[in-house]
Amino acid sequence: MIFIGKAPYRVSLLGGGSDLDWFVKKEKFGVCLGYSIDKYSYSVLNVLPSNAKKGILEYSTREEYKNLEEIVHPIVREVLKYFNLPEFIELKTFGFASGGSGLGGSASFLLSLISSLSNAFDFKLSKDEIIEKACYLEIQKLGKPIGKQDQYLCANKGFNSFTFSDNNNCTKKNNISIPKKQTLERLAENFYLVPSNKERNSDSVLSKIKSHQESTEKIIAIREIALKFLEFEERRDYKIEEFFNKSVKDSWIIKKSMTQIMNTKLIEQYQTIDKLIPNDWIRLIGAGNGGYFLISSKIEEEKIQNLSTQNCLKGIFKAKPSKEGLSNFII
């Protein structure tokens, strides 16, 4: 039997940064709003016979292992060490984007891997248990300077909001009102992602953000914007759409003022996209310094495709919300 784990990528909209482990410990809580998209990571796993002499791993390269310490891929090595599997495995992984894309690629991959292992070895892990194990392995075992929003957003379908608390390391799913969710789903019909064609090491970017004292104040301001949107009640003279667009723009102004978020090439690409595509806003997704630009534009899709030949827009695609979250199946 072949065991397959599948997890979507994610787009962070509001509150990003306030979920970071160091920030939550220092400022007591963080909050995020985002959604998973209809692009996925897959982990395809085969449990080898008990007399197998080695395991096989295929991702961007291929490696064989006879003991777990030999494994080069850090995430796979820590996951297999954590679960202490009784047999060797053959694992193939693939997905739409790699780590460094700004779309939660490492979280998506890790979730799909743990899900496939849970199914193959009958661990009977719930979705929340898989999420928390993914967070533990990345933050505690691998020492990554990240938070939990990627794991939680990637594991759940569509739009979601979470509060991450320092109180017993608690995570709470926030209620998004029906009118807000309907508005977000409608607005997402006009969301596009454009690769910056520059992958980056998010660990490096996030570590530099942590080392700057003013980052705390700026992340508090970003968190406050997210909270205000979640608490916002539509008025006749001020619609959810208007307040959401203002919230994204205000957050982006703060975020791009932080160190290492934008460099000269990214600024040039940002400005060119802004000239070519009429939009409500453009922002960089993820930790910064590379990855994907998210654009909110009512431009016709046909015109987008015509513009996609431009260097700055190569690879553009519609960022549709996913219809399923973390899942696994057997073939």
Q: Contact 289/199 with Cβ under 8 angstroms? A: no
Nearest Cα to 179, choosing from 117, 243, 97, 267?
243
Contacts of residue 178, defined as CB under 8 A and 6 or more positions apart, other chains included, come to none
What is the maximal distance between C-alpha atoms in the chain? 71
Cα separation, 330 vs 272, in Å, equals: 46
What's residue 263's pLDDT?
81
What's residue 215's pLDDT?
86
Superfamily for 178-318? Answer: GHMP kinase, C-terminal domain (3.30.70.890)
Quick one: CA dihedral 111, 43, 204, 225, positive or negative? negative
Contacts of residue 279, defined as CB under 8 A and 6 or more positions apart, other chains included, come to 295, 296, 297, 299
Identify how many contiguous H helices and E strands the chain contains and give both numbers: 11, 12
Q: Is the confidence at residue 208, as pLDDT, over 60?
A: no
- The share of the chain scoring above pLDDT 70, in percent, equals 92
Nearest Cα to 15, choosing from 3, 1, 29, 36?
29
27: region left, alpha or beta (phi > 0 left; psi from -120 to 50 alpha) = alpha
Q: Tens digit of pLDDT for each residue in 76-90?
A: 999 999 999 989 999
Q: Is the confidence at residue 10, as pLDDT, over 70?
A: yes
Q: Is the confidence at residue 205, as pLDDT, over 60?
A: no
Please, which pLDDT band fits residue 269 given cuts at 50, 70 and 90?
very high
Q: At what angle do helices 214-231 and 240-255 cross, to 10 degrees?
A: 170
What's residue 292's pLDDT?
93
> 125 or 260: whose pLDDT is higher?
125
What's residue 207's pLDDT?
57
Cα separation, 34 vs 194, in Å, equals: 17
Mean pLDDT of the chain: 91
Across 239-268, average pLDDT: 89
Q: Which two three-digit tokens encode residue 101?
A: 């894309």
Q: Cβ of 35: how many Cβ atoms within 10 Å?
A: 25
What's residue 100's pLDDT?
73
Contacts of residue 270, defined as CB under 8 A and 6 or more positions apart, other chains included, come to 262, 282, 284, 293
Q: Where are the domains of the chain?
A: 3-175, 178-318
What's residue 133's pLDDT?
97
Nearest Cα to 190, choosing from 86, 277, 296?
296
Across 45-68, average pLDDT: 96
Q: Does residue 46 sit in helix, strand or coil?
A: strand
One-letter amino acid of 200? R
Please, which pLDDT band fits residue 237 given cuts at 50, 70 and 90?
low
Vertex 54 angle, CA 51 and 57, to 5°: 130
Please, which pLDDT band fits residue 287 given cuts at 50, 70 and 90?
low
Q: Contact 9/41 with Cβ under 8 angstroms? A: yes
Q: Hey, which CATH number is domain 3-175, 3.20.20.30, 3.30.465.10, 3.50.50.60, 3.30.230.10?
A: 3.30.230.10
Cα separation, 111 vs 327, in Å, equals: 9
Please, which pLDDT band fits residue 238 given cuts at 50, 70 and 90?
confident
Please, which pLDDT band fits residue 309 given cuts at 50, 70 and 90?
confident
Across 294-301, average pLDDT: 93
